[in-house]
Amino acid sequence: MSRASEYFDYEEIPGGDGWYSWNPVDRTRFNYAILGELITRREAAPGGEVCRLRMVPEHRHTNLQEIIHGAATLALIDIALFAAVHTLGNGEAGPSVTLELSTQFVGAGKPEHPLDAVTEIVRETGRMVFLRGQVVQEDHMVASFSGIVRKLSSRGGA
């Protein structure tokens, strides 16, 4: 199910097993400049559906310990909130804002494997979306998180 967005390149990847691109239309923005190409898809999960957002780590995403830098993981999580709002919810992710983000790092991210943020919507109201999820690599958990996004109706509007 594809929903157009004026803010994000959200196009189905041919032969991509349900994956869609998830990159800002303006490639000079933070998301693309810091993390590079991202892809997303909707998946069935116990109790509902989740949104999986994937990045492929590069050397620039690592720290001096040769693991994925926590800031790269946090950036992926924040972007995953908006991918979930777009993919699973009723809001337009572009003009929305993060109100709260709580993260618990529980394992090291390995740069040789894709890093996935798997997010579910706990509750959505007219203006607010409450979300939670995990950052995983194959069967390895890197972080657990929860967040609140406020949906805005237009650029800078309330």
The pLDDT value recorded for residue 158 is 47
* Position 157 in a domain: no
Mean pLDDT of 65-69: 97
In terms of residue numbers, what domain contains 56?
8-150
CA 82 – CA 153 distance, rounded (Å): 14
* Position 3 in a domain: no
- The total domain count for the chain is 1
| Domain of residue 125, CATH code | 3.10.129.10
The pLDDT value recorded for residue 148 is 98
* Position 136 in a domain: yes
Nearest to 136 by CA among 31, 55, 60, 61: 55
Q: Which residues, 6+ apart, have CB-to-CB distance to 83 below 8 Å? A: 22, 38, 40, 51, 53, 93, 117, 119
pLDDT digits (tens, 9 = 90+) for 7-66: 888 889 998 899 999 988 888 889 899 999 999 999 999 989 999 999 999 999 999 999
The pLDDT value recorded for residue 3 is 66
* Position 130 in a domain: yes
CA 141 – CA 118 distance, rounded (Å): 11
Task: Check residue 62 and report its DSSP letter.
Answer: B
The pLDDT value recorded for residue 154 is 54
pLDDT digits (tens, 9 = 90+) for 77-124: 999 999 999 999 886 777 789 999 999 999 999 999 999 999 999 999
Nearest to 25 by CA among 47, 9, 46, 2: 9
> What global pTM score does this model have?
0.92
Q: 105: which strand partners? A: 143
The pLDDT value recorded for residue 156 is 47
Q: 44: which strand partners? A: 49
* Position 158 in a domain: no
Rounded to the nearest 5°, which phi and psi values hold at 63? -105, -170
> Any idea which residue has 């116990």 for tokens?
46
* Position 66 in a domain: yes
Asked whether 61 and 102 are in contact (CB, 8 A), the reply is no
Q: Which long-range contacts (CB under 8 A, 24 or more apart) does 64-67 make?
A: 65/108, 66/111, 67/108, 67/109, 67/110, 67/111
Structure tokens of 142?
């890197």
Nearest to 46 by CA among 118, 129, 138, 147: 118
